[in-house]
Every structure is written in C-alpha cells, then in structure tokens.
C-alpha cells in the first residue's frame, strides 16, 4: 500500500499532465468495433475509456465558440497543489482512508493518490471557486438571427454566474467519477469524513450561521443526527454493504479513542432518525436502505436533520406527492457516471430537479439551439444549470483517477464474431438480429406490409392472424392470394407494392436444406410453420405433429397420414450440444473461427462459444441475450437451466432480481468466489442490473443477438474494472453470436 509520502510524490509529478484540459476529439469509428468482421478485432482498453471520457466532455461542450464558458476550479486545484509543500500534502493525504480491507486478499482495494486527494478536496474544500457563462449582445444576435431577419432583435446579453465558498462540501453534489473508478468506496469515505468529530462540528456551526436572518422550516433548535443514509437499488445493495464492512476497520483506526461506528441494514420500529440522534455523542451511524424508504423515514421525525444522504445512480426516490414536513438533509450526494442517467434523474419530483430548477439539459449544445429558436429564457436556464454542474461535480479528477487505475485494468479486449444460421422466415421478413426464439409469422407479415401510406388496421390484423392460425403450415404461394383478397373495416386492401416486397424477402431467404432430415430442398418445395415461419421439407412437415422450433401444434390436412413427433430429434442435445466438435489445443481464436464456420443455429452457436471459453480458462462470462419484442413466448430465448446443464456451469438469471436484492447478493457472492467452477450471469430484458454493479470477476462477455453500442459498452465497463489480483496481460474476450 503506497504511503502518504509516496502519494504526495505521485501527485506532484503528474498534476500538470492529468489536470490539463485537452481538446475533445470524437472517435467517429468507435461504433465500428462492434460491427461483425472476419477475424474479429483486438481493441486497446484505453480506447474504450477514452471514448467514454470524450462522450462526457462532448456533452458538456457548447459547440459554439461565441459562448464564453469559464470555471476556475481546475485552475485553483493546480495552484493549490503547486503552493503546498510535499510534507503538508502528505499530511493532507494521511487524513483520508487508505483503502478497503477484506478477508479475501483479491478483493482488497487500495485508494490511489488522486482518489485520496479528491476526497480531501471535496470534504474540506480549501478554496472558493466560481463558474460563469457570458454571451454578449453581439454574440446573442449573431447566433439567434440570420442576416436577413426582419424584426426586433434582442439587446440584452445572456449571463450566468455561480460560486462555491470554501470550507465545506456543496449542499448538493454529483459524484461523476468514471465507471470502475471506485465511486462506491469513495462516496462512503467522504460520508465518513463529514461525520468525523472536527468536520461534524464545523458543518453544524456553519449550518446555524446560514440560518441567521432566514425563515427556515423546522425546529428553532438545530438537531443534527450524526447519520448518513445510503439509498441503493437491489442489484448493488450487497456491494455497498460489503464495501462498508471492509471500510469500517480503516475508519475505526482514524477515529479518536472511544468512537464507534454503527451500520444499519434494515428499517423498522427499532431504527429511526431519532434513534440515531439519541445515540451517544461518539457514535457514527450508516443506514443502508432502498430509495423508496427515504421518504417514510424522513417523515417520522421532521425536527431532526440528517447529516448526509447518498443516492446511488438513477435509483433516486421522488418526493412525496402530498407536501409534508420531513427531516432536512444537510448534504445530498448522488453517484452518477453517464449523462443519460443524470438527465433521467432530474425527471422525477426530487431534490436534484429542485436544485437545477427543472430537468437537466440534454446537452450543453442546447444553449445555442434554444437561442436560434429564440427561446432565451430556456437558454438562460441551461447556462445556469451548466454553471452549477461544474461546481458540484468531480469532473476535474476523472482523467487523473483513471491514469492511476490503468495498471489494474486489462490492456486489451479481443472481439470475436460468430455467425449463426437464420432458421425462420418470420425473422428474415422482420430483419430481426436474433433467431433464438420463435417470432409470430402473422406479426412479421403485418410489420412487413405496413408503410407510411398504408397502416394495418386492427380488423386486417385479426384476419391475418386467423389465416396463419388456421394454416399451421404453408407454402408462401398458398397465402399470397389470400392476403391480397383481404380487406379491412374501411374496405382497404394490402397494396401490391407491399406484397411484392414480401415476395422479394421470401426469395432472399436462404436455407441449406431441411434442418430436420438435412436433405437439400428447393425453396418452392419448402413448407413453413404458420406460427413462426420455421422452414422444413414437405416430407418432414407431413410427419411433424408439432413445430420443432416453437412447439406449436401442426395439424395436417390429411388426418390419415401417419404422424411422428420429430421434436425429440431436436431436443436438448441438438439445441444445446454437450460437446465441442473442435480439436483441443488449437487455441481460443482458432476454436471460435471453427464454430463460425459450422453454420449452426444461434442457440447452438452460443452454447458452443461457452464450451470454448470454458475450455481455455474463461470461467466467469457475462451473457447478454437479445429478446425481440415480437417473441410470442413467455419463456426466455435461451433456457438458462439447459445451458447450465450442458456446459457444467452455474448460471444466474439477472432478470429475477427483486426487492432488496437478497437473492442477487447470494448470486453475486457465488459469482465472485475464486474457484475453478464456471459461473455466469445471464441477462435477457433487464440491462438495468448492470447499472452500478461491480462485476470485476467477469473475464469475458458473450452476446447473442445485437445490442446498442451503449449497452455493450456498459457491459464492458462492468467487467473491465480495477482488481489488484488481475493479470493485465490477459485480454477480456467479447464473443458476439449474430445471424
């Protein structure tokens, strides 16, 4: 663990580089790294972090040189570091926690030099700072009006200026350190530092001074409980509890003799704000709860103030619909990592919206946009919001903290693409990027024939569904004339152009013969399941009692024909292969290329990819499976217990996370175990479980289907996190199975 002197030396030697503003250079080719290509790609992890940083800076960029934006906080940070001596800087750093302790050596976390300095500067705030935006009259006119504009022009400039006085943290703070930068532990440390004896006394005195001459809500006596509430969602509840338990021994050593730390992890009659206030003067209390429990607890004792409240990520509890007295909170902290989450957090009726006086700007570029629309009041409000934002965030330290953590991250990520076979006509008609589960053929037809000029009326949709429900299996030529003959309630029929496009899509559909008997069949002789569009030859269609893919009944026209349930031929051993038909010892890359060339179903390819990863030492995959809106089944596209059985892997379904997260905590505890038993998290329709979740033990990511770049980046951010025992030379693998 680096000493305070070593930390001071590190800061003195690097502050000119990591605190220097550099121009934002957007990586226009970033999204291309997730596009399928032969051979895959090897991407430096630095490029992913740089993209996230550039995206954040771009969000704060007004993109208009005539708008003068200035904040002196980064400048004062550099000047403060320049002026302080090495010994004094080491003394300052020694007043911050050193790291997170744990029985498990691999889970111990030591704070870097810049993390510790940012804690001190946040809590003690040794200098005042200011942010302002100036748009003079000439700039207002040149931005807002074109040369030939006729009419009155605005004569008043747009100005906004806010300041933060030194001596204590802001009343509202946004902890916007980047993903994987230890926001959880960092935030808990600053809560502790605010409740330490000297700082607690100073904050209470300053609070009383602020109330002089002000009509304030509440009791004339300022009662402040030495209490910090930590409000977190179910997916990170256990992570916060475990992190706090690892910090308590560190906190205890920093406190004077006789002080004690309480941790409450439940609510009820035995826990309240009043109980925390009535604790002996040398007791510090942390109270971890769900966000929707904050209001309930604050209502009980409105005359007692709470020292601080930390709300994690987007899990922000709205204020009460009915106005009522509640315990004031002296310091509000919100941990957020992405602009989108910040904007979303201000859409509810909560303290953050009150602070910004409305919903937060979507981008700083909206200032010029609103001026061109001559919505000057809104443009001025965005200017005020941007000034406030620059004073209450940790943006100045994002680059510095990441530079310290780089040695704890993998150096590269290997992205590999595995193509799978499209099975159904329905998915081809829709252009769906997943074929793991059945898609309704009727819904696919309705979506295909609908255009801007022609909307599928409900009555026509019912007819199309009845048609395919009655056919059960069909040849495309059998249904074309029936579709053309249909009319909706307004006597409108499907346009000929739409039917031509449908036939073109049918002709584009390719199959390597019947997937059941494996014989080559001409497209004209293939039959399709009426429910999902699964293709098979005429002979197999006549023998099938149920569709081998969607398992729906296929009643045939000739009831005397012998029927055979062929679904047994495509049961688990087919869809979920138990072995990998590729020689061992050829390496992971060669194995994935071999799977790519097998032309498998998407479920089969996903299963084999997991077999390959396990074979070559990747035991903690994070699996994302696309679930299309057109899937007409309740079950998930890939069945976790079948995947678990054939791969010999313990798989946890993230979609089943509920409530306080007790079940998720058990899953996470098993996932984090350092043993050779393969374990995985699988996610279908609940990507929110990754928000703020520490999945540092994940060593690979498998996607089945196509996902938005932001979601894939978020998954990467969950896996590429600092870990002391990580081998940085071992790359993270991203295997994408697509049709």
Q: What is the DSSP string of 248-294?
A: HHHHHHHSPTT-EEEEE---BTTB-HHHHHTS-TTEEEEEEE-GGGH
Residue 514 pLDDT exceeds 50: yes
Q: How far is CA 211 from the centre of its chain?
A: 40
Given a contact cutoff of 8 angstroms between Cβ atoms, the answer to whether 474 and 533 are in contact is no
**What mean pLDDT is predicted for residues 512-524?**
64
Burial 507-541 (b: 16+ CB within 10 A, else e): eebebeebbbeeeebeeeebbbbbbbbbbbbeebb
Q: How far is CA 372 from the centre of its chain?
A: 33
567 pLDDT band, cuts 50/70/90, is very low
Given a contact cutoff of 8 angstroms between Cβ atoms, the answer to whether 651 and 607 are in contact is no
Can you give the three-state secondary structure of 348-361, one letter per residue?
Answer: CCCHHHHHHCCCCC
Residue 200 pLDDT exceeds 50: yes
Residue 671: closest CA among 686, 649, 690, 691: 649
**What mean pLDDT is predicted for residues 100-106?**
65
Rounded CA separation 19/35 (Å): 34
Residue 472: closest CA among 564, 555, 561: 555
Whole-Å CA distances, 314 to 29, 341, 353, 648, 654: 29, 6, 13, 36, 18
Whole-Å CA distances, 157 to 138, 161, 256, 371, 381: 8, 13, 54, 11, 14
152 pLDDT band, cuts 50/70/90, is confident
Residue 531 pLDDT exceeds 60: yes
Q: What tokens does 201 get?
A: 């006394």
| Coil vs helix vs strand at 213 | coil
The per-residue pLDDT for 601 is 84
Highest mean pLDDT out of 176-180, 449-453, 735-739: 735-739
Rounded CA separation 681/699 (Å): 12
**What mean pLDDT is predicted for residues 219-237?**
85
Q: What is the DSSP string of 505-545?
A: HHHH---SS-TTT-----GGG-EEETTT-BEE-HHHHHHBS
Rounded CA separation 111/247 (Å): 11
Tell me how many degrees the CA angle 8-13-14 measures, rounded to the nearest 5. Answer: 100
67-71, 133-137, 479-483, 606-610: the lowest-pLDDT one:
479-483
Q: Please count the other Cβ atoms lying within 10 Å of the Cβ belonging to residue 576.
A: 21
The per-residue pLDDT for 159 is 95
The per-residue pLDDT for 127 is 93
Q: What tokens does 280 get?
A: 């002996």
Whole-Å CA distances, 319 to 301, 348, 358, 470: 16, 8, 14, 53
Please state whether 315 falls in left (phi above 0), alpha (psi between -120 and 50) or beta: beta
Given a contact cutoff of 8 angstroms between Cβ atoms, the answer to whether 8 and 89 are in contact is yes
The per-residue pLDDT for 105 is 54
**What mean pLDDT is predicted for residues 529-545?**
72
| pLDDT tens figures, 358-378 | 999 999 999 999 999 999 999
Scan for tokens 């249904």, then name that residue.
479
**φ, ψ (nearest 5 deg) of residue 331:** -130, 120
Who contacts 73 (Cβ-Cβ below 8 Å, separation ≥6)?
129, 131, 164, 390, 391, 396
Rounded CA separation 41/558 (Å): 53
Q: What tokens does 470 get?
A: 């009655």
Residue 561 pLDDT exceeds 50: no
Residue 526 pLDDT exceeds 90: no
Who contacts 447 (Cβ-Cβ below 8 Å, separation ≥6)?
429, 430, 630
| Coil vs helix vs strand at 304 | strand
Share of the chain above pLDDT 90, in %: 35
Q: What tokens does 228 get?
A: 């910090």
Length of the chain: 739
Please state whether 20 falls in left (phi above 0), alpha (psi between -120 and 50) or beta: beta
Given a contact cutoff of 8 angstroms between Cβ atoms, the answer to whether 333 and 311 are in contact is yes
The per-residue pLDDT for 494 is 79
Average pLDDT value over all residues in the chain: 82
346-355, 429-438, 453-462, 715-724: the lowest-pLDDT one:
429-438
The per-residue pLDDT for 558 is 35
Domains, the chain, ordered by start = 1-24+61-167+364-388 (no CATH), 169-360 (3.40.50), 412-418+576-738 (3.40.50.300), 438-573 (no CATH)
| pLDDT tens figures, 49-68 | 788 788 888 899 999 999 99
| pLDDT tens figures, 673-692 | 888 899 998 888 666 666 66
Residue 428 pLDDT exceeds 60: yes
212-221, 525-534, 617-626, 676-685: the lowest-pLDDT one:
525-534
Cite the beta strand spans of 352-470 per DSSP E: 412-419
184-193, 260-269, 330-339, 432-441: the lowest-pLDDT one:
432-441
Q: If you ran DSSP here, which 8-state letter would residue 320 be given?
A: P
572 pLDDT band, cuts 50/70/90, is very low
Residue 354: closest CA among 379, 373, 329, 377: 329
1 pLDDT band, cuts 50/70/90, is low
Q: Helix H segments across 512-661? A: 538-543, 572-575, 588-596, 602-615, 640-647
6-10, 43-47, 353-357, 490-494: the lowest-pLDDT one:
490-494
Residue 464 pLDDT exceeds 90: no
Q: If you ran DSSP here, which 8-state letter would residue 414 be given?
A: E
607 pLDDT band, cuts 50/70/90, is very high
The per-residue pLDDT for 23 is 52
Rounded CA separation 341/325 (Å): 29
Residue 253 pLDDT exceeds 90: yes
| pLDDT tens figures, 317-332 | 555 556 778 899 999 9
523-532, 539-548, 631-640: the lowest-pLDDT one:
631-640
52-61, 80-89, 138-147: the lowest-pLDDT one:
52-61
């Amino acid at each position: 663990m680096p000493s305070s002197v070593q930390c001071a030396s590190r800061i003195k030697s690097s502050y000119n580089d990591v605190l220097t503003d550099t121009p934002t250079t957007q990586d226009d080719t970033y999204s291309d790294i997730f596009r399928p290509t032969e051979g895959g790609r090897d991407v430096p992890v630095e490029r992913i972090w740089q993209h996230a940083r550039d995206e954040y800076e771009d969000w704060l960029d007004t993109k208009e040189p005539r708008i003068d934006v200035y904040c002196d906080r980064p400048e004062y940070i550099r000047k403060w570091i320049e002026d302080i001596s090495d010994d004094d800087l080491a003394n300052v750093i020694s007043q911050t926690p050193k790291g997170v302790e744990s029985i498990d050596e691999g889970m111990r976390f030591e704070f870097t030099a810049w993390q510790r300095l940012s804690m001190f500067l946040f809590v003690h705030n040794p200098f005042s700072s200011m942010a302002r935006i100036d748009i003079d009259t000439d700039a207002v006119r040149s931005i807002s009006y074109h040369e030939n504009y006729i009419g009155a022009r605005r004569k008043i400039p747009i100005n906004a200026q806010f300041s933060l006085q030194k001596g204590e943290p802001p009343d509202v703070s946004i902890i916007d350190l980047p993903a994987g930068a230890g926001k959880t532990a960092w935030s808990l440390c600053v809560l502790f530092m605010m409740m330490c004896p000297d700082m607690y006394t100073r904050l209470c005195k300053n609070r009383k001074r602020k109330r002089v001459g002000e009509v304030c809500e509440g009791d004339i006596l300022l009662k402040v409980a030495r209490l910090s509430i930590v409000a977190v969602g179910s997916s990170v509840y256990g992570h916060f509890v475990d992190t706090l338990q690892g910090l308590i021994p560190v906190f205890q050593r920093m406190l004077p003799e006789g002080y004690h730390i309480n941790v409450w992890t439940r609510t009820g009659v035995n826990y309240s704000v009043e109980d925390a206030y009535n604790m002996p003067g040398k007791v510090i209390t942390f109270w971890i709860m769900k966000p929707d429990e904050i209001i309930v607890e604050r209502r009980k004792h409105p005359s007692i103030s709470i020292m601080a409240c930390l709300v994690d990520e987007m899990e922000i509890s709205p204020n009460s619909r009915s106005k009522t007295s509640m315990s004031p909170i002296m310091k509000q902290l919100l941990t957020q990592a992405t602009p989108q989450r910040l904007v979303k957090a201000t859409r509810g009726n909560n303290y953050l919206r009150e602070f910004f006086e409305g919903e937060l700007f979507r981008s700083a570029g909206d200032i010029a946009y609103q001026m061109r629309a001559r919505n000057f009041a809104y443009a001025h409000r965005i200017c005020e919001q941007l000034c406030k934002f620059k004073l209450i965030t940790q943006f100045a330290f994002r680059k510095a903290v990441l530079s310290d953590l780089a040695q704890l991250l993998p150096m590269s990520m290997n992205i590999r693409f595995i193509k799978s076979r499209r099975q159904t006509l329905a998915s081809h008609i829709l252009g769906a990027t997943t074929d793991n589960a059945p898609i309704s053929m009727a819904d696919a037809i309705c979506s295909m024939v609908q255009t801007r000029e022609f909307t599928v009326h409900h009555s026509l949709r019912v007819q199309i569904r009845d048609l395919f429900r009655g056919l059960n299996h069909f040849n495309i030529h059998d249904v074309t004339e029936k579709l053309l003959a249909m009319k909706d309630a307004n006597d409108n029929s499907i346009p000929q152009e739409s039917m031509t496009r449908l036939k073109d899509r049918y002709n584009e559909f390719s199959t390597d013969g019947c997937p059941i008997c494996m014989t080559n069949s001409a497209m004209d002789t293939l039959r399709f399941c009426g429910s999902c569009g699964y293709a098979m030859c005429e002979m197999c269609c006549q023998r099938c009692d149920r569709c081998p893919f969607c398992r729906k009944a296929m009643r045939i026209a000739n009831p005397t024909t012998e029927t055979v349930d062929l679904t047994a031929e495509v049961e688990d051993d087919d869809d979920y292969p138990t072995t990998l038909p590729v020689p061992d010892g050829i390496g992971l890359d060669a194995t994935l290329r071999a799977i790519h060339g097998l032309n498998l179903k998407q479920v089969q390819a996903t299963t084999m990819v997991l077999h390959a990863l396990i074979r070559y030492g990747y035991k903690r995959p994070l699996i994302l499976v696309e679930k299309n809106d057109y899937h007409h089944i309740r079950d998930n596209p890939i069945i976790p217990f079948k995947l678990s059985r054939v791969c010999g892997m313990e798989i946890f379904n993230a979609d089943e996370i509920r409530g306080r997260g007790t079940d998720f905590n058990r899953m996470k505890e098993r996932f984090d175990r350092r043993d050779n038993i393969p374990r995985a998290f699988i996610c279908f329709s609940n990507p929110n479980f990754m928000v703020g979740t520490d999945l540092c033990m994940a060593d690979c990511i498998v996607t089945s289907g196509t996902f938005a770049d932001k979601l894939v980046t978020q998954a990467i951010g969950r896996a590429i996190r600092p870990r002391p025992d990580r081998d940085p030379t071992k790359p993270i693998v991203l295997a994408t199975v697509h049709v």
